[in-house]
Amino acid sequence: KQEVTQIPAALSVPEGENLVLNCSFTDSAIYNLQWFRQDPGKGLTSLLLIQSSQREQTSGRLNASLDKSSGRSTLYIAASQPGDSATYLCAVVTGGGNKLTFGTGTQLKVEL
Amino acid sequence: GAGVSQSPSNKVTEKGKDVELRCDPISGHTALYWYRQSLGQGLEFLIYFQGNSAPDKSGLPSDRFSAERTGGSVSTLTIQRTQQEDSAVYLCASSLEVVNTEAFFGQGTRLTVV
């Protein structure tokens, strides 16, 4: 059974700092990995999708990498801003149907 | 529509009552998913649809839960005889295909059973 772990569970950084969020998964036979952000009381916003054949994806200040063989992904956020404060979730698709298995998330707070 | 739409956004119901949650996916998306997010359990898969059929219902917690999708579009998740442990946020997502495509989520329905 696929298990997804995210470290750290919570993180507080000053504005402007670069930071890395970590995601690991136990079954490396994934189809893709997706990073989401969730604001309090809201749904999930898709940030980046990495296919299993890809090593990284970039969108603006965000860069996600994937090392499928070791079961790891990182989300790099450059020059963090208070508006980046949210919970970040990674999720993987293992098997058919495009079903997502989620990690427990990293709660990020960027302080002025 | 522009995004995945869910209604109601909030629902408070008495224990034992039935509730219906609605999801309107992005137009043209073949696949539709229901997830549940509860304290201490994280996000868990419930059921997904490909068109109007549900190939995988393995996440439905009990036979009190059912879902249907009509016209390859709108889906309803029905919970019969609600219990307090059903209290959670129910999230719907859709994707263009059931293979290897990005999932887009709605804002969720927060269900509180009192």
B103 touches chain A (CB under 8 A): yes
Spell A16-51 as b/e; 16+ CB within 10 A means b.
Answer: eeebebebbbeeeebbbbbbbbbeeeebbebbbbbe
pLDDT digits (tens, 9 = 90+) for A88-100: 999 999 877 788 9
Residue B56: closest C-alpha in chain A: A97
Residue B40, pLDDT score: 72
A105 touches chain B (CB under 8 A): yes
CB contact under 8 A, B31 and A31: no
Residue B55: closest C-alpha in chain A: A97
Which residue of B35, B43, B98 is in closest CB contact with A98? B98
Question: Residues A21-38: what's their mean pLDDT?
Answer: 96
Q: What are B35's strand-pairing partners?
A: B45, B91
Contacts of A46 in chain B (CB under 8 A): 102-105
Residue B42, pLDDT score: 86
pLDDT digits (tens, 9 = 90+) for A67-84: 999 999 999 999 999 999
- State which amino acid sits at residue B85: E
Which residue of B91, B100, B107 is in closest CB contact with A98? B100
**Residue % of chain A over a pLDDT of 90:** 90
Residues of chain B with confidence (pLDDT) below 70: 1
B50 touches chain A (CB under 8 A): yes
CB contact under 8 A, B35 and A100: yes
Whether the bond between B25 and the residue before it is cis, its omega within 30 degrees of 0, is no
Residues A78 and B37: beta-carbon distance below 8 Å:
no
Which residue of B6, B35, B102 is in closest CB contact with A46? B102
How far is residue A12's CA from residue A55's CA, in Å, rounded to a whole number? 27
pLDDT digits (tens, 9 = 90+) for B89-103: 999 999 998 777 899
For chains A and B, CB pairs below 8 A equal: 65
Residue A54, pLDDT score: 95
B104 touches chain A (CB under 8 A): yes
CB contact under 8 A, A34 and B56: no
